[in-house]
Structure formats: C-alpha cells, structure tokens
Amino acid sequence: MNIKCLNDHGGMNIMFSSKNRDEVFAQLKSESLDVLVIGGGITGAGIALDAVTRGMRVGLIDMQDFAAGTSSRSTKLIHGGLRYLKQLDFKVVSEVGKEREIVYENGPHVTSPEWMMLPFYKAGTFGPLMTNVGLLMYDFLAGVKKDERRVMLSREETMKKAPLIKKDGLKGAGYYVEYKTDDARLTIEVLKKAVEHGAYAINYAKCTHLLYDDANTISGVKVTDQITGITHCIEAKKIINATGPWVDQLREMDRSKHGKSLYLTKGVHLVFSQKDFPLSQAIYFDAHDGRMVFAIPRGEQTYVGTTDTTYTGDIKHPTTSEEDVLYLLKAVNSMFPSLSLTKQHVQSSYAGIRPLIAEEGKDPSEISRKDEIFISTSGLISITGGKLTGYRKMAENVVDVVAKQFKREDGILYSSSQTKYLSIAGGEVGGSKNFESFQRGMINKGLAYGLSEKDTTSLVKRYGTNIEKIFVLYDESRNEAVEENIDLLVLAELKYGIQHECVYKPIDFFIRRTGALFFNIDWVYKHKHDVIRYMKKYLRWTEKQMKQYIDELDTCIKEATLA
C-alpha cells in the first residue's frame, strides 16, 4: 500500500485522519526524515509547512492536540504590533505589519480585517496628537493598504460607533485596521497544508527522550503514543524544538538550558454574551492601571483580554483565577460604566501562557515578544518567543538555518522559502479580493443542500474551500444522523474533523476545531452527549477511554465557565 499519495485537490486526506494513527506512526518511523518538529502549535505547524514545501521530508509530533497549548488561547488578532511602536521597535512593527497582510491573503477564510478603535481621553496615555502620529507611523512602517489607513474620529463619531464607552473626558479616537483570526483553526489549516505536501503529523504523541548518535549529535526522539501507551523511536537528521512554553523542558532534556531562558506569563480572556455586553466595534483601551486591553465582538459574544502576570504553575493547565476575573471586570466596567458586569455575566473564559524570553528587571508586559533561535551543541534547534502574527516569517528563519546546515554538512541545496504566496488549507480562493464572491457562491450552495445562511456563513469562515467536503458529508449522512440520533450538521462537521483534521477526543472538536467551548458554550451543552456517543462507536473507544474523555471535557467546561 502506498499511503504517501496525498491529494492536494479534494481527495480524502488519509494521513490526517484519526482513523490512521498507526499508519502515520509507521511512516514517521520508516521514512528517513530530514526534519522532525516537536510541537504542533502555530510555530511548529509553520515550520513543517515551510520545510516540506522546500522539499524536505518532515514529521511533526504534539503531546496534546494540535494547537492545544498557547495557539488556541491568544487574543486571536493578527496585528501589526502597535505596542512595539510604543517601545520604539520600528523594525518589528515593519516586519509584523507586513506579515499580517500575508497571513490574511493566504487564508482569508480564517482571518479578516477588523477596524479597531483607540479612544483617547483628557489626561489619558495618548492624546489626539500622539495617537495620530503613532497611527500614521504605523501605517507607514507596516505598509498598510490605502483603504485601511488610520482615520481620526471626533468625540461624536466615537460615541456613535461605541455608544457604551465612557463619555467623561472623551476627546475622540484613532480608528485603524487589525485582523481577527481563529488561532487554533489557523494552526490546523497550516498543518493540513503541510500534510497535503507530504509531511507526517500526529497529535497525542509525546517526546519523552531525545536520542543521540556516537558523536553526541541529536539523531531522534522517543515518543509515547498518549492514546495507546506504545513507545516509538523516530529518527531525523534535524530535530526542531517548537514547544512554546515547554521549550526549556526540552532544552533541559538536551542538557543545554544555559544562558537565556523562558519567562512565562499568563494571559486571560473573558467571554460575555452580546446580550450582556453589546459591542459592534472592537476597542483597544487603557485599563485602570494603564495597561492596554481589548474588547472585541465575535459573533454573538464579546470577549475581553488580556491580563499579563508571571506564571509558575502547570503549563498544560493554566486557569482563570478570581483575581484575573476581578481585574478584567474592573477594566471593562471602568470603560463601559453602564454595563456593571459581574462574574455571573461571564459565559466562559480561557487562559494561555506566553513563552517570553526573560529580560532582567522588566515587568511582564515590558518584555519583548521577539522570537529567538537557540542551537545547542548536540544540534537541537529551539525556537521560542514571537507571535501568532509572525509565524510564517519565524518558520522561514528557522528553516533557513536548517537549509544552511544541510548545505554545509551534506552539500544538499534546498530552495528558499515558498510560503509567502502559498494559500493555507481552505484558503485557495485566489486571495482576499475573491473571498466575498466565493462566500456568496457557497451560501447559495448551502441553501440548496438545506442549510441556513447563518450556518453556511460560519462554515465558510471555518473551513474555507473545504466547505465542499462538509456539504458532501452533510448530504450523505442524512440517514445516519437519524439512526444515530445526532444533529446532521454536527455529524458532518464531526466526521470531517475525525477524517481530515485528526480529531480524536471531544475536547479537540469542541475547543480547537469549532471554538465552541470558548465562544458558543450552549452548543457544547446541547450536543456533547451525542458527539461522545458517536465518537465512541466510530473510533472504537473502550469504556475506560470514554470515561477519561468525558472527564477531560467536563473539566474544561468547568474551568472555562468558572464553575
């Protein structure tokens, strides 16, 4: 059987199906890999895509689900780094500003422009002049498109766009474009593209040991399948440590954690129903302590974040504390005084860990978000820091290092990065200019299949061009949905997730593939039992597995809802 034949254009992607975990492990062991990436967050996914599209043979493992670390817990903005401007870091503003355009063009289904309002007040951090000059520089440095350049709003215009913001001392606002994304879906789409190009990627595969040759050069990893408990040895010429907040743990395993190390900070977001926090305009505002906080509308919800506090707890399991909730409530109530939001209004919340590089004497929010590559004497390549926004460029830089090593050591020449103009999975609509007409076409198709306009619109944004596969699954599962007593659309998405996006546990589906546990908790309550029942049968879980996965989902629900 030749299971490496992957299909770029619509065939079933068998190597990214949870039904084929054993085959993926077999390939990872038998292929002689050029590069093995440890970590399937946005950093690892980007590296896998960059390397495989240069012609390298690539594998990727993650000990949890893909994007289960920081890459599903961010503010979900592809942003040009206004905060770097405040720190006078012009090079970074310019670089990330340009990158956000590329991220948008390559996946316009999952990333979209979002006009952001920056209100200014008498005696606030920024006055109108500073805001205007700052945003003007931002437009220039980030190469912002003409129709997306900043506009200054009067007090009246500001109140019209955001009627609930504090009026006392309000002088006006800067109005500029950022981009909103779904971080976990962005990660999955990048990874799916890497797999389409021939990479092998598997979740729930934990690196427990690093392997070395006689010269003490790193040559592979020992990996334990977290589902079966089976251990495998995977060899590769180059091992890349893209484990985000876990980077130092891997460096410790490699006995190379000298010099710089990580400084972890926690960031929390709270999610409210639009009924309690009606907001149609995203706002970036000064919190009561001078830090900047976002309030962003997202479908029927509004989310607010973030905090930035030193973190020393369990990296796998950051949770929202009472203090975090009080801080964000205070920030939001001081900006939107008529709301009087309380803890009871919080629908859900999530916490993430920033893998920052320690800088002595600096407060968490002052530490640079720049990325850095460390190469140990054994050859382990570690990458950390950085942002979701800059993932593609970070990946390019890491793979440039690897390509140089291959040239020097083996005389093999690989091309330069191919990802600047490469659509991610689902993004093949011919650029952002075509997205609206693509969406209209799909809505008509969805209506013909019997789907509502609202559902189809969400599906287009979630799956992009892969929505056609959801339509097919929807159509062919009509009888099965009745027999299995499960909502037809939920079934179609679940089957797609299992067969094409490596969904293995309910939390993969409810958190990373659909985002529902953070942004549509009622949908989770409504469908969780049907989803679990179906998954047990389809994936042949044991009773013990089912119990474990139900517990995991319930814990996540409890934590998110602050129960």
- Sign, Cα dihedral of 121, 125, 126, 130: positive
Q: Which range, of 19-27, 387-395, 401-409, 539-547, touches ligand FAD by CB under 6 A?
A: 387-395
Contact set for ligand FAD, span 182-211 (CB under 6 A)? 206-207
Which of 14, 15, 24, 42 contacts ligand FAD by CB under 6 A? 42
- Asked whether 392 and 102 are in contact (CB, 8 A), the reply is yes
Cβ neighbours of residue 467 closer than 8 Å, sequence gap 6 or more: 426, 442, 446, 456, 459, 460
- Told to check if 44 binds ligand FAD by CB under 6 A, we report yes
Q: Which range, of 5-13, 380-388, 466-474, 534-542, touches ligand FAD by CB under 6 A?
A: 380-388
Nearest distance, CB of residue 520 and ligand FAD, angstroms = 20
Which of 59, 267, 364, 446 contacts ligand FAD by CB under 6 A? 267
Q: Which residue, 241 or 466, has its beta carbon nearer to ligand FAD?
A: 241
Which helix (H) or strand (E) covers residue 210, if one does? strand 205-212
- DSSP assignment of 19-50: GGHHHHHHHHHHS-EEEEEE--SHHHHHHHHH
Q: Which range, of 191-199, 237-245, 359-367, 517-525, touches ligand FAD by CB under 6 A?
A: 237-245
Tell the residue number behind the tokens 């020992």, with chain if given.
222
- Tokens coding 363: 């407060």
- Told to check if 353 binds ligand FAD by CB under 6 A, we report yes
DSSP, collapsed to helix, strand or coil, labels residue 167 as coil
Nearest distance, CB of residue 232 and ligand FAD, angstroms = 12
Which of 386, 427, 446, 464 contacts ligand FAD by CB under 6 A? 386
Which helix (H) or strand (E) covers residue 333, if one does? helix 322-335
Nearest distance, CB of residue 346 and ligand FAD, angstroms = 16
Which of 246, 263, 463, 471 contacts ligand FAD by CB under 6 A? 246
Q: How far apart are CA 60 and CA 240, in angstroms?
A: 9
Nearest distance, CB of residue 543 and ligand FAD, angstroms = 27
- Told to check if 311 binds ligand FAD by CB under 6 A, we report no
Binding mask 428-467 for ligand FAD (x = CB under 6 A): ----------------------------------------
- Told to check if 69 binds ligand FAD by CB under 6 A, we report yes
- Told to check if 27 binds ligand FAD by CB under 6 A, we report no
Phi then psi dihedrals of residue 37, to 5 deg: -100, 130
Q: Which residue, 471 or 519, has its beta carbon nearer to ligand FAD?
A: 519
- Told to check if 38 binds ligand FAD by CB under 6 A, we report yes
- Told to check if 426 binds ligand FAD by CB under 6 A, we report no
- Tokens coding 507: 């939390």
Nearest distance, CB of residue 201 and ligand FAD, angstroms = 11
Q: How far apart are CA 332 and CA 337, in angstroms?
A: 8
Which of 193, 298, 354, 392 contacts ligand FAD by CB under 6 A? 354
Which burial class, exposed, middle or buried, applies to 537 when counting CB atoms under 10 A from its CB (0-12, 13-18, 19+)?
exposed
DSSP, collapsed to helix, strand or coil, labels residue 559 as helix
- H-assigned helices in 31-112: 42-52, 82-86, 90-106
Which of 56, 61, 304, 425 contacts ligand FAD by CB under 6 A? 61
Phi then psi dihedrals of residue 219, to 5 deg: -135, -5
- Told to check if 402 binds ligand FAD by CB under 6 A, we report no
Which of 50, 62, 105, 501 contacts ligand FAD by CB under 6 A? 62
Nearest distance, CB of residue 315 and ligand FAD, angstroms = 8
| Number of Cβ atoms within 10 Å of the Cβ of 387 | 23
Helices and strands per DSSP (H, E), number in the chain: 19, 18
In 3-state terms, the chain is what percent helix, strand and coil (to 5)? 45, 20, 35
Nearest distance, CB of residue 361 and ligand FAD, angstroms = 22
Q: How far apart are CA 419 and CA 81, in angstroms?
A: 22
- Tokens coding 223: 């990996």
Contact set for ligand FAD, span 269-308 (CB under 6 A)? 306
- Told to check if 161 binds ligand FAD by CB under 6 A, we report no
Which of 188, 388, 492, 503 contacts ligand FAD by CB under 6 A? 388
Binding mask 74-93 for ligand FAD (x = CB under 6 A): xxxx-x--------------
Which helix (H) or strand (E) covers residue 396, if one does? helix 391-410
Nearest distance, CB of residue 163 and ligand FAD, angstroms = 26
CA gyration radius, the chain: 23
Which helix (H) or strand (E) covers residue 444, if one does? helix 435-449
Q: Which residue, 282 or 473, has its beta carbon nearer to ligand FAD?
A: 282
Binding site for ligand FAD (CB under 6 A): 38-44, 61-64, 68-71, 73-77, 79, 206-207, 242-246, 267, 306, 352-355, 386-389
